[in-house]
Structure 1
Amino acid sequence: MFRKEFGKKSVLLGTPTGVSAVLINGKTLHSIFKIPRKTNKFTSLKGEQARDMCNTMKDVKILILDEYSMIGCNTLSMINRRCKEALGNDKDFGGLMVILLGDIKQLPSVKDNPFFSKTQKSLLGKEGKALINNFEKVFVLKTSHRQANDQSFLNLLDKMSDMQMSSEDYRLLTSRFTYNVSVKEKDSFEDALRLFATKDEVKQYNIEKLAQLKDDSTGTPNPVLKIPAKHNCSQASKESTDSAEGLEKDIFLAKGCKIMLKSNVWLTHKLCNGTTGTVHDILFHPQKGTPSVILCNFPSYDGPSIIPGTKLVPIKAVLKSWTNSNGINCTRFQFPITLCYACSIHKSQGMTLEKAVINIGKSDFSLGLSYVAFSRVRCLTNLIIEPFLQKRLIPSPRTLATLEMRQDFLTL
């Protein structure tokens, strides 16, 4: 509608994650606005980057930001500044009409202050808070299409989002606890994605599943290949996966294993951070004997293939660079993939799953954790749940305080 009225390039769609970018046929906020992962690295664009930004924005009239609960005040402020720079207009967002979409009751940004936070320490955060308070109209969508065919499950999720679960709601969930599901039905969940609260649990489960892979013809275990990353210094080798923008120090792979992309490879053809697939083969450098290409099959891929009629894509190693807390320049060279028999609940936000097996952990260390986990499927029978006590659903004093801030934000 907007494009018909204002032109083909008049609407710009942005979202925090690669998964949601594919769903809305948009781009990630970091790729559109050249936003650094650390806010203290944010500066005005110069040279070719500035020209590219101007070209991207010159015909834009409407900016639509999806999954807004994951954006946060600092990021919103950086988007605002980029729009002003590119359009040469000092009004908020360079004078653009801005539309925020999403569910504030889902998980907030991991490394940013949520819009409902009352305390902003940085200048960017304070600017972002002022910007969000300047939005004039709110439209509340009350129909959930994902769970439209399971009203009791939908009602349960609504109460879970506000952490107001009753004993009756808990009893309904227990009907899908592992000990209440038949062996036959459990077998139908064998290939379902497992969702865990922590990355350590995800890693442990993925390694266990990898070790169980067997050759279809011989029944013997598939050989597992360990691929260590290459670093420019010893300090880089000690840095976390997050520091290296998702690249792991070591990855373990085998033919036929399930994998997930950890970076945006080709958004246009649905190869983004979060895209899942399987390893078809591992190709080695003829002289060095080291892995040079991971040949992967991605069911959602819709671009050209190296083998006509297939969805095979060659994935090569990429280089990520950063400056650590001691001011040392670090680099990591690694394949941007990870095992994906399981993923974190945070990573699942934006996904719609046919089936899932869920372990929500000991507590909601981030408001919205349980709600996001359970709402990935269309109906309750598409879940198997690792048992937990009812008290797990009772919010802590800290969570209640955060919940109150969010409620105050919703009633502004």
Structure 2
Amino acid sequence: MSEVLSKNVKSMKKDLFESPDFYQIDDLLTEEHKLVRSSIRDFVKKEISPYIEDWCQKAHFPYEIVKKFGEVGAFGPQLPTEYGGGGMDYIAYGLAMQEIERGDSGMRSTASVQGSLVMYPIYKFGSEEQRKKYLPKLGSGEMLGCFGLTEPDHGSNPSGMTTNFVDKGDHYLLNGAKMWISNSPKADIAVVWAKNEAGRIHGLIVERGMEGFSTPETHGKWSLRASTTGELVFDNVKVPKENLLPGKSGLGAPMMCLDSARYGISWGALGAAMDCYDSARRYAIERIQFDKPIASFQLIQKKLAEMLTEITKAQLVTWRLGKLMNEGKATTAQISLAKRNNVAMALEIAREARQIHGGMGITGEYPIMRHMMNLESVVTYEGTHDIHLLILGNEITGIPAFK
């Protein structure tokens, strides 16, 4: 009874978020964009905000959220409707990721892995049979998927992967392991990248229940605690030949998927930054010290002004990148710039917001410390802060520094 009462009390906690728009970027959005943002924001306020602190404290992944994400259209909004997507553009997709990560980075990880790293490769590189078999169920949340690229000894250097498969005539035999895989412990399917006998990288769809396939969960995380993370282990797994993605091979295939996901992260991190800024602004006005609100002190105003400046710059970067994505012109380097800049910006804002909140900033009464811990994962996954810097360096100089 006390647990139910506790949950009810938490559900009464108001989400008062107000989105900053200092440069009137809303004027650049279509009515559809605003509708998408509004519907996802309402969803977050109802289904995530009242419970997220409790989920994170307990390191609990609320599996029921998967179906709810499907119902609200959070999975693959940029993919065609006939394949379970939303039929919208990349700005709508970005806004959806922004709103979900404003609620929590782990929740956004669940959604963006499903849309950009599972649905996207099946849509882009899969056969028509694969698209029809998997995409509608993934889009509706009936199925959950994960993306297997990172290995224990190959993170920033995925080309060195050792996971491999051999042709056994009527099937492939898959061996190897992947780690730091979002969604894996609960996933129904995994899009796995492995080398064939010739050393060429291919994508395969591995289904839960295939003999020799297991997904051990990763415990003890201090970050993304409401997201489920684990490994993918393949011990002589027989994969039907029709589960090979036929449309593209080579490292470029998973990198295209990561471009889509990194684009979503650039918007998502902006949402986390907005949440920290909004909480800090509100707290500074309400918190009284020396007989006046701390918002009246110059140093607090400096922090808030700098937060708003960086958020506004990031909003313009993501909007322009979204336009380039819609036109098919966005480059990997441009996506790297946005991902790297916006995540670093969000981390800095989280740290400044924590100072404005004082001791209260480390408690679950406010979202600051949770965002800060989450962003420490976001700054590393799908290309570390330094790797994205080197991608830009290569673009500038024509000299790759990571080979």
TM-score, normalisation: structure 1: 0.23
More strand by percentage: 1
Q: Computing the radius of gyration over CA atoms, which structure comes out larger, 1 or 2?
A: 1
TM-score, normalisation: structure 2: 0.23
